Amino acid sequence: MDVDKSEGNRDDISSNVVKIPERMLLREQARLDEVERRKEAKESHSVADENSEFFTKAFNRDRAAIEDLISICSGADRGSATQTLDAATAKTQQLQKFLNDSMMFLAQYELRQAQAALQKLQTSLAEKRDEALPKKKFAFRSRTKATEQVDDTVPATLAGETVIDGQTPAASDIGKVEETVQCGFSNMDDVVLTKTAGEINKNDVLLSQLTNCKVRLFGSPSTLHIKNVSGCEILCGPVSGSVFVDHCSNTTLVLPCQQLRTHNTTSTQVYLHVTSRAIIEDCHGVSFAPFTWSYPTLDEDYVVSGLDLARNNWSHVDDFNWLAATQSPNWALIPVEDRKTTWET
């Protein structure tokens, strides 16, 4: 009996000796798998499980790299500057996506700091592009000879007036000696204005000094600037970057974009698809609803823009003039029953 017990004990001991290393190996393998998973997540900027310290370090590192690219454009030839600025633009878009993906764990203060830094970076990039790659100029002038040759960049003139996109500018503009070519419309009242996808073609678009106009922008702009407009209805295809609105009143805006920044705007409705967040500052009476415009090539334009159809933060609005935890009085959601769903195209 004693011998049998001893042998039984030895069998139990031997069994335990085998089981303990196996458990340790499994635990060690699990630890190594977790280390590899975290390494891959950091390398791909998949930061869903990372903390704000990692975000801050990565964001500042990438921002510094973009600033270096912008700085080396000074004095470079046009070809080199174009290549460098295109690389900086691509990195800026990646940084914007990194910020969008990190919003779930960032505090409001950290988010606003990062958004302000990114906006400053985008402004520096735009200024450097204007400096290093100046756009061609044109002069308003009358056609004095039937055989006069006009450069392709100069809009056609008729009887001393310049016609731009089918419209005649205000009389005060006719006397201007020189003006930078823009993709967009300026200084017009009570007209319907349209740009095709071919005309926009990933360009920056400017709408300024418009009153009581209906604007339809098909295609995918790179950025959209809306300045000093009143009583207008502006519908735009997917904007791959940011939309900047300044001094807008009694207007309806219908657009998808990566980011919306709105300043000095009153009594304006925004039908929005935004993949990051909407930002307002010095605004009141601004209301929001989801994007509802549709046209035949909209899906194709979304592909060109790179916007994520599944991500829409139209109701998430940051008011930089309202830091309290309560709802800002400067903006609201448009009631469902009051939302417009069809638009003239």
* Angle of helix 52-71 versus helix 78-102 axis, rounded to 10: 170
Which pLDDT score is estimated for 130? 78
Contact 133, 82 (CB under 8 A): yes
- What pairing do the DSSP bridges indicate for beta strands 278-281 and 252-263? parallel
Which pLDDT score is estimated for 254? 97
> How sure is the predictor about 49, in pLDDT bands with cuts at 50, 70 and 90?
very low
Residue 258 pLDDT > 80: yes
Look at the block and give the residue holding tokens 């409001």. Answer: 108
Q: Which of 98-102, 122-126, 280-284 has the lowest mean pLDDT?
A: 98-102
Superfamily covering domain 52-132: Tubulin Binding Cofactor C, N-terminal domain (1.20.58.1250)
Contact 223, 243 (CB under 8 A): yes
Which pLDDT score is estimated for 295? 92
Mean pLDDT for the stretch of residues 155-173: 37
β-partners of residue 243 are: 224, 260
> How sure is the predictor about 176, in pLDDT bands with cuts at 50, 70 and 90?
very low
Strands (E), 46-174: 137-138, 157-158, 161-162
Identity (one letter) of the amino acid at 73?
Answer: C
For residue 330, count other CB atoms closer than 10 A to its CB: 19
Mean pLDDT for the stretch of residues 317-341: 87
For residue 232, count other CB atoms closer than 10 A to its CB: 22
Residue 212 pLDDT > 60: yes
DSSP category for residue 3: H
Identity (one letter) of the amino acid at 147?
Answer: T
Which pLDDT score is estimated for 34? 76
SS (H, E, C) 272-287: EEECCCEEEECCEEEE
> How sure is the predictor about 234, in pLDDT bands with cuts at 50, 70 and 90?
very high
Backbone angles phi, psi at 161, to 5 degrees: -115, 145
What's the chain's average pLDDT? 77
Which pLDDT score is estimated for 339? 93
State the first-to-last Cα distance of the chain, in angstroms, to the nearest integer: 98
Instruction: Please list, in sequence order, all residues whose beta carbon lies within 8 angstroms of the beta carbon of residue 306, skipping any fewer than 6 positions away.
Output: 93, 240
Residue 177 pLDDT > 60: no
Contact 281, 262 (CB under 8 A): yes
Contact 66, 123 (CB under 8 A): no
H or E segment to which residue 237 belongs = none
User: In terms of pLDDT, which residue wins out, 337 or 345?
Assistant: 337
Which pLDDT score is estimated for 58? 87
Residue 53 burial (CB < 10 Å; 0-12/13-18/19+)?
Answer: exposed
Residue 51 pLDDT > 80: no
In angstroms, the CA 93 to CA 86 distance is 11
DSSP category for residue 5: H
184-338 belongs to CATH 3.40.50.620? no
20: tokens are 């303990």
> How sure is the predictor about 246, in pLDDT bands with cuts at 50, 70 and 90?
very high
Residue 52 pLDDT > 70: yes
Which pLDDT score is estimated for 213? 94
Mean pLDDT for the stretch of residues 216-242: 94
User: In terms of pLDDT, which residue wins out, 165 or 292?
Assistant: 292
pLDDT (tens digit per residue) in 191-205: 999 999 988 888 899
Which pLDDT score is estimated for 147? 34
Contact 256, 313 (CB under 8 A): no
- What pairing do the DSSP bridges indicate for beta strands 192-195 and 214-217? parallel
In angstroms, the CA 266 to CA 246 distance is 10
Mean pLDDT for the stretch of residues 46-61: 72
Q: What are the structural domain ranges in the chain?
A: 52-132, 136-180, 184-338
Contact 213, 191 (CB under 8 A): yes
Residue 28 pLDDT > 70: yes
User: In terms of pLDDT, which residue wins out, 163 or 103?
Assistant: 103
Residue 105 pLDDT > 80: no
Mean pLDDT for the stretch of residues 253-275: 95
